[in-house]
Structure 1
Amino acid sequence: MIELNGTTIQTLDEHPMTELPAGGHLMTVVVSVEPNNPGTPAHRHPGPVYGYVLEGEMIVELEGDAPVLKRAGDTIWEPGGDRIHYQAANPGNTELRFVVLMACKDGEDMLTFASDEKLEARKHLRHPGPVVDPRAAA
């Protein structure tokens, strides 16, 4: 933590940015998901995604990783590329809001939905669960 002239800077999370494409661009969005909603269907991002949960709870599930419960104040990291993002679901009874910063090459879509054929071919890479709650383990 850094404190300077009445300003406090607290690092929440860090990741190397080796995935940033040359000539790319960044997009910052706020995502809202209604209560008890599975969120966006399975998809991929061409570049890294970094986020922060503003309100509510979400289940984040990336290909190969156990699904994780995130709450307000938690960070989100996704390397992008070929890994499928299975869910950013809202399991709660209140609205979920999170902000994400996404990077990609110029001319590429920030989000591409995974086809049924792709999901079937890669189903062996999906973690069987259950949802991990890091705060419960602490």
Structure 2
Amino acid sequence: MAPAPDQQAMHDHDQMATVDPAALPGKPTRSLESKLILRAPDGQGRETIVNRTIRAPGTRAPIHFHDAGGTTCVLEGEMTLYLKGQAPQRAVAGQCYYMPSGMPMSGVNSGSVNAVLLDIFTVPVGTPVWRVTEEGMDAIQQQFPAPQK
């Protein structure tokens, strides 16, 4: 019997190399704010979740991955996305970046002001939008509340 999708994602991720936290700029912290602004089920077992997130300068999300991928759009400030094996991707106000599924990553506020973001995900209903994998950062997993089933 195949593992449940949730277990399969964790298994797949465990087989991947991770991003080295020592190589990342910024301090891993919870965002200043993460507010759910939209949860829209599509009636076919998936839902779109949009969070408005504010991240302080010089801080970063803990290393994590997304089961289903997602997009971050920068409304104010700037962010830099660090993905395993890829060059950093800088995005300033008015730009977005895509976060592929299953890839270890961290987003860093690389600017000098608070970064205001829209984090957009489409996931199976009841699936968390992210999974924190950085050691010692388990409490930050709660930044995006677990979806209600």
> Deviation at 1:48?
2.3
Other-structure match for 2:62? 41
Report the Cα distance in structure 1 between the residues aligned to 2:49 and 2:126, rounded to whole angstroms: 13
Change (3 A) 1:115 1:88: closer
**Which whole-Å CA distance do the structure 2 matches of 1:45 and 1:31 have between them?**
16
Q: 2:45 touches 2:124 (CA, 8 Å); kept in 1?
A: yes
Separation of aligned partners in 1, 2:97 and 2:89:
10
Counterpart-to-counterpart distance in 2, 1:40 and 1:68: 15
Residue 84 of structure 1 corresponds to which residue in structure 2?
A: 104
Aligned length: 92
Task: State the Cα deviation string for residues 44-70 of structure 1 (Å, max 9, x = none).
Answer: 111121221101111111222111221
- Runs of 4 or more above 3 Å deviation: none
Structure with more relative contact order (C-alpha pairs < 8 Å, separation 6 or more): 1
Q: 1:68 aligns with which of 69, 89, 113?
A: 89
CA distance in 2, matches of 1:62, 1:98: 18
| Long gaps (5+) in structure 1 | 1-21, 117-138
Gaps of 5+ in 2: 1-43, 136-149
The answer to whether the aligner puts 1:54 opposite 2:64 as a matched pair is: no
**How does the TM-score come out when normalised to structure 1?**
0.61
TM-score by length of 2: 0.57
Which has the higher Rg, Structure 1 or Structure 2? 1
2:52 counterpart SS class:
strand
